[in-house]
Amino acid sequence: MASKRKAADEILGQVSKIPTLAGSSTEGLDRGPRCDGTYHAEISQVNKALQKAVIDVPNTTSQQHHVYRVQGLPLDIDIKQASDLISGLFKQEGDNFMPQFRSFAQAIDGCATVATIGFQKIPMELSGVGKNEWSYDISNILRTLRVEDEDNTCIQRRQILTIDNHFDGLTVLSSPLPSDHEVDCLAISGLGGHAFGSFKEKDNPYMWLCDDLPYHLATARIIIYGYESQLHGSQSFQGLEALASKLRALLRDITERKPLFFIAHSLGGLIVKEAIIQMRDESHDGFSALDFIYGALFFGVPNQGMDITSLIPMVKSQFNQSLLHSLSTMSDLLLKQCREFSQAFNFPESRIMCFYETLASPTAINIDGKWRMKGPDAILVGQASATHSRSWENKAHHIQAINRDHSQLVKFRANDEAYRRILSTLKEFTKQASTMKRGRKIEPEEIPGRQACLNALHFDQYKERRLGVSQPHPGTLTWIWDHPQYQQWEESTSSNLLWLQGKPGSGKSTLANYIQSQLTSRLLHIHDVQCLIVDFFYSARGGGDQQGHIWMLRSILYQILLQAPALWEDYYQAFDSYKKSQEWTLPLLLQIFLSLGIKYDQNLRLRIHIIIDAMDESEEDMRHKIVNMLYEAGNQDSNANVVFKIFVASRPNLKINFALRNCRYMNLEDQTRHDIIEYVRCEIRRIAKEVVQCSLEELDFVSLTLIFRSQGVFLWVKLVLAELEERAMEGLCTTAEIENLTTSIPTDLEELYFKIVEKIEKRDQAAVGECQTILRWVAYSPEPLDVEQMREILAVSLCGNSSLSEAQIARHRVRHVEELRRRITNRCGNLLEIRRGVVQFVHQTAREYILRKTKSVVIKLGETSSRIEIGRFCKRYLDYVNFTLEEVWKSANLSRNGVGWASADLENYVHGITNRQPVLAVFCLDIYRLHAEQYSFLSVELDKVVQDFLEAVESTYQLLEGATLACIIHGDDKSLEKLIRAPEQVNRLILVPGDLENRDHFAAGCFPRSSTTRHWSLLHFAVYLKARADYTIETLLRLGADPNFKDESGQTPLFQAVERGSSCLSYTLVSTTMNCSFGDEDGAYPESGGLISDCEDLQSEDFEDESAVHKLVQEVATTGRRRKSRILSADPMITDNTGKSPLSIALKNHNYELARGLLVRAQKRGFVTAKSEGLNIHNYLYETCRTGNTRAFDILADFTDNWNFYDNDRRTLMHVAVANGHQEIVSRLLLRPCPDLEWKDKEGQTALEVAVLKQHHSVANILRKTGYN
């Protein structure tokens, strides 16, 4: 090691004497045990010193620019030793034969050092014709160089040094220290090119990848790739696929992996694309090289083919004709590649940048038997072909023109303007690739956007139906684990679908729920696969979000992403689309589901169990598409990283039957006989003991009859047993009477429902009317009703037409839940039940019969008439709510507008209205209000009812105005959350006294002298008061306040924040996250925060006080349903009635830091790159060019990549800046990739002509100095 350090010191001392060209030689990756950190630091200093030493070499012959690659240099050798070693090989003395190192770096395999060298005079050994590779045994030379380090205890292996000039394979030009190494940059040449020479300046030794790029991309390892692509005289017959497979194999075997991006020219880009397509389906020992590829810079890549007319004669009668023809504009191979590449490389963390030529290229021509590029000029690769990459990257900032011909696209001079332009893109690629999450395990909290996506997918009722399914009777359904079809479904290692079909009421939902609850424990033995269990139970009774396919997909996709964060990349693009529209559509959700697993990059395989119940109860529209989707998922490739185990339960349905005819199949009625026997015997034993009080043997006939007549339908058994128990309790309890009743009950469910309805019709008018009211509410309520809500509905209905009051309703309210249960059974037979505190139909078949099949002339449940009755009820009830609010206000003796309210007054008021809040206030204001208008089209009468109801809602909001204003004055966010019922309540204009300096005026109850008033939203008011407003703003935004809601002058709250120069308030408004939830401060929906899950372990049989359950459900509802509202970000470029915007105000007031802060935060929300409601970034740039505000220009310039634009008069920014004589702006524009200075405006004038015309001579001189004539 001492000798190495001594050699390094000598090099540092004599570096100016070393005849080398500027190159790259920074050290590479981990060298293993023979290299410590000290050596890395020393050799890095040596290399940097060498790279900075630029030696002028006379340009005498073309051979002086000839470069060779040296492979097999030991890891621990330094440049001085390597120079001595190589020069010693040729036994020639003199500086002319000393190798000039262009690069010196660790080889790609990490086992040796690789260098590129040149000579002033090429040694004789390397000048032989027809040879391009030479090998030397350097074992003895190395022993001479390493006297001090020689180990005589073992035989030294032979070490071979290889020098070549073909550069085939991967060559590392520069490699940072391991601690600095973040990304890899791989350059690949084009058709007939050379790995090194294609990027070298013509007739000059300068090669930008070697001589400049390592300094500018200090954290990137620079690699070049060589391959056989010679046209004339080639013996190769490899095609595009073969060329790509070689590159793919080399990339797969890279030892030290970092995010990688390509610099690809011409054919090289096609090879890269083909390699990526091949990688898509490749997994090498659980690893995919594709996971580490970030993107590519494509230079003249003929995506849609190139002009090969002049090249065809060069390959006539050669084996490589097929390769050339595959690059033509008529190539089917390239068309196929274009389609597949977008699918294979569609990662959100990826980028493709395309550069195209704008000069015609000389073509090949045969001169005296030699092919020269001196033929007629032609456009080899047109713009359309060179820029046709991925469909979503076709905007101006994805493509750039370079004013070069095809071969010169990647040849740059030192200090080349084109290089500087491309360098900025390379720096962006390096920065973005270094932060790429693909290719490494990511913790859930590390994934930006995942939580926001979960919030957007979540809805409170996503598991409500499953939680309402009956638990199986003890000892039943255990047969499922031994069923052959189920065993094959569970044990198979490939995707498959198991279809369970059963009659209505046969217990499909109970079985599906039983499997879901037991599956976790049954899969514990599986260790090499991560198992997920997700479910959705359709329910026509639940309607809406329990019946729609969008809700089903949202539910299962939410559960999958919650359990498997590594699948986030499959969600990313669709979520990005969702953020723009703020709406989940079926195609968007299907896009996510169908892509699940495509980008899954973990070594551990993933098995997703999806349990779908009651498919026949789903909405019929698009049902076939969902069934086909599940079928395809269950029959996908067995080698996929993600395996789908899908369980679907349904009633017999012709379309479902046809779609799933080839799947694993079970018929439930064939399996449940033993379960029904067990259930019947247990229930008969209970009835015999507790109701009839007889021996079990006396009811043997009843048991056998029920078992025999059940036909596998549990529901029928349950209804018959309920009827038997009811009749026995009425006194019909002799053995003969019970047996007769058992045999008289029809076995068909619809006939059984008919008898129940027939029995109801025989009751008195009041009982039938009450039954009709209950059935209407259960059938048409926007959401399921809990027991307390039903008690209130019955009480109000029983009040008749009398005025509603607290005392009047209390007199008619059913006393407790058990009494309600008996009353519902008495009025509605066994059509309804109370389960988990919710009143519902006993089964979907009961609901279908009552709404669609009953011919009763007494019980009328038409949709329009039912919704009219519910609407009138809600209007009447809301009038009662408003009357209660008025009473509380009067008793408090406070002002209407919140002025003069003390903090204690506010607290007492909120406490009063909370304690006296009627039971159905939440239902009317939060639930019915959201659904009312969607049914108003059914009739004119219903529309009138809905409008009357909405007027009552507005009255409620007006009554609460004073209290909400007082909450903002005092900064009482908790009270504010109790008072705000809906986003509509926040996003409305309220009359507010004007000219107020602070909240003290309000608290003191005094008005300023001015009598002016303003109409503001609550958010405007909070921003205006400023004190504690940042907290209040956050609260209002969570409650649904729209930060872009305008007042009478067209200004949003952000205008006030910017006018006051408050960066805190401004940033709060602009930085709001879309679709924040209200479960916790992080915007997450905790698993325990759903409507039902808080009482998940409670069964209806266990409720001693179901009013407690009501309170719990209502509390969850107010923080679940009501609080889930869209939250937008304030747009800093939105304009008011006079054309001003918050951004223009900040710039006008010279508050540049605030302006920059607004843009930084708004850019993340899409207001900068996308055109906003008001102006866009280009409008502001035009204004700075007009006014000459350089500071504003510098800020704005950082927020656009697109400089290729002009106004309605065809004026570019340069035209405007020149016309106003702003030299500083002109100088800044010249540093940007602006349009060609030859561009002419509407008057036909260039920028220089405008400068001359306006007599701005200094500006004209600046333009002339750029080379513009």
Look at residue 224 in the predicted model and tell me its pLDDT: 95
DSSP conformation class of 320: T
Look at residue 22 in the predicted model and tell me its pLDDT: 32
Q: Mean of the pLDDT values across residues 1069-1080?
A: 48
Sheet holding 529-537, edge to edge: 529-537, 605-613, 642-650, 496-501, 664-667
Look at residue 1101 in the predicted model and tell me its pLDDT: 34
Shared domain for 759 and 742, answered yes or no, is: no
Read off the pLDDT band of 356 (50, 70, 90).
very high
Shared domain for 493 and 612, answered yes or no, is: yes
Look at residue 438 in the predicted model and tell me its pLDDT: 66
Of 191, 218, 259, 712, which is closest to residue 406 (Cα–Cα)? 191
Residue 722 within a domain: yes
Residue 235: domain span: 166-434
Look at residue 451 in the predicted model and tell me its pLDDT: 83
Interatomic CA distance for residues 744 and 759, integer angstroms: 15
Look at residue 1267 in the predicted model and tell me its pLDDT: 63
Q: How many angstroms separate the first and last alpha carbons of the chain?
A: 61
Shared domain for 335 and 192, answered yes or no, is: yes
Look at residue 613 in the predicted model and tell me its pLDDT: 94
- Which CATH number does the domain housing residue 462 bear? 3.40.50
Residue 1122 within a domain: no
DSSP 3-state assignment of 297? strand
Shared domain for 920 and 952, answered yes or no, is: yes
Q: Is the pLDDT of residue 124 over 90?
A: no
Q: Mean of the pLDDT values across residues 543-548?
A: 81
Look at residue 1112 in the predicted model and tell me its pLDDT: 37
Shared domain for 140 and 223, answered yes or no, is: no
Residue 1054 within a domain: no
1141 in Cβ contact with 1134 (< 8 Å): yes
Look at residue 583 in the predicted model and tell me its pLDDT: 85
Look at residue 499 in the predicted model and tell me its pLDDT: 94
Q: Mean of the pLDDT values across residues 7-25?
A: 34
pLDDT in tens, 141-185: 776 655 444 455 555 667 889 999 889 999 999 988 776 788 999
Residue percentage of the chain with pLDDT more than 90: 20
Residue 1124 neighbours by CB distance under 10 Å: 19
* Residue that finishes a domain, picked among 388, 413, 434: 434
Q: Mean of the pLDDT values across residues 261-289?
A: 81
Shared domain for 755 and 660, answered yes or no, is: no
Q: How many domains does the chain have?
A: 7
Q: Is the pLDDT of residue 483 over 90?
A: yes
* Residue that finishes a domain, picked among 434, 460, 482: 434
DSSP 3-state assignment of 427? helix
Q: Is the pLDDT of residue 1029 over 50?
A: yes
Sheet holding 832-835, edge to edge: 785-786, 838-841, 832-835
Shared domain for 517 and 660, answered yes or no, is: yes
Q: Mean of the pLDDT values across residues 1039-1047?
A: 87
Which amino acid, 71? Q
Residue 1026 within a domain: yes
Residue 171 within a domain: yes
Residue 1056 within a domain: no
Read off the pLDDT band of 660 (50, 70, 90).
very high
Q: Is the pLDDT of residue 581 over 80?
A: no
Residue 249 within a domain: yes
* Residue that finishes a domain, picked among 144, 165, 186: 165
Of 1016, 1029, 1024, 1045, which is closest to residue 1127 (Cα–Cα)? 1045
pLDDT in tens, 64-119: 578 999 999 888 788 888 888 888 887 665 556 678 889 999 998 888 899 999 88
Read off the pLDDT band of 196 (50, 70, 90).
very high
With the C-alpha atoms ordered 365, 370, 373, 379, is the resulting torsion angle positive or negative?
Answer: positive
Shared domain for 555 and 448, answered yes or no, is: yes
Shared domain for 406 and 310, answered yes or no, is: yes
Look at residue 1268 in the predicted model and tell me its pLDDT: 60
Output the DSSP codes for 1130-1144.
Answer: --TT---TTS--HHH
Read off the pLDDT band of 338 (50, 70, 90).
confident
User: Long-range contacts for 710-713 (Cβ within 8 Å, ≥24 apart)?
Assistant: 710/676, 710/680, 710/747, 711/503, 711/669, 711/747, 712/502, 712/503, 712/506, 712/668, 712/669, 712/670, 712/672, 712/673, 712/676, 713/503, 713/504, 713/505, 713/506, 713/669, 713/749
With the C-alpha atoms ordered 921, 925, 926, 928, is the resulting torsion angle positive or negative?
Answer: positive
Residue 1203 neighbours by CB distance under 10 Å: 18
pLDDT in tens, 727-785: 888 777 788 888 888 888 888 888 888 888 888 888 888 999 999 999 999 999 888 88
Interatomic CA distance for residues 561 and 1190, integer angstroms: 47
DSSP 3-state assignment of 268? helix
Q: Mean of the pLDDT values across residues 124-136?
A: 79
Q: Mean of the pLDDT values across residues 237-256?
A: 86
Shared domain for 775 and 889, answered yes or no, is: no
Q: Mean of the pLDDT values across residues 609-623?
A: 92
Q: Mean of the pLDDT values across residues 603-612?
A: 85
Give 1179's Cβ-side CA count (13 Å radius). Answer: 17
Read off the pLDDT band of 1102 (50, 70, 90).
very low
- Which CATH number does the domain housing residue 1233 bear? 1.25.40.20
pLDDT in tens, 931-969: 887 777 888 998 899 999 999 999 999 888 888 888 888
Q: Is the pLDDT of residue 223 over 50?
A: yes
pLDDT in tens, 1164-1210: 665 554 343 445 788 888 888 999 998 988 888 888 877 777 888 88
Q: Tokens 């992403």, residue?
A: 561
pLDDT in tens, 900-924: 788 888 888 888 888 888 889 888 8
Q: Is the pLDDT of residue 1026 over 90?
A: no
Shared domain for 886 and 841, answered yes or no, is: no
Q: Is the pLDDT of residue 436 over 50?
A: yes
Residue 1210 within a domain: yes
Q: Is the pLDDT of residue 1012 over 80?
A: no
pLDDT in tens, 836-882: 788 989 888 888 888 888 877 788 888 899 999 999 999 999 999 99
Q: Is the pLDDT of residue 287 over 90?
A: no
| pLDDT higher at 59 or 724 | 724
User: Long-range contacts for 127-131 (Cβ within 8 Å, ≥24 apart)?
Assistant: none
Residue 10 region by backbone torsions, left for phi larger than 0, else alpha for psi between -120 and 50, else beta: alpha
Question: How high is the mean pLDDT of the chain?
Answer: 79
Shared domain for 886 and 1035, answered yes or no, is: yes
Look at residue 128 in the predicted model and tell me its pLDDT: 65
Read off the pLDDT band of 15 (50, 70, 90).
very low
Q: Is the pLDDT of residue 278 over 60?
A: yes
Look at residue 572 in the predicted model and tell me its pLDDT: 82
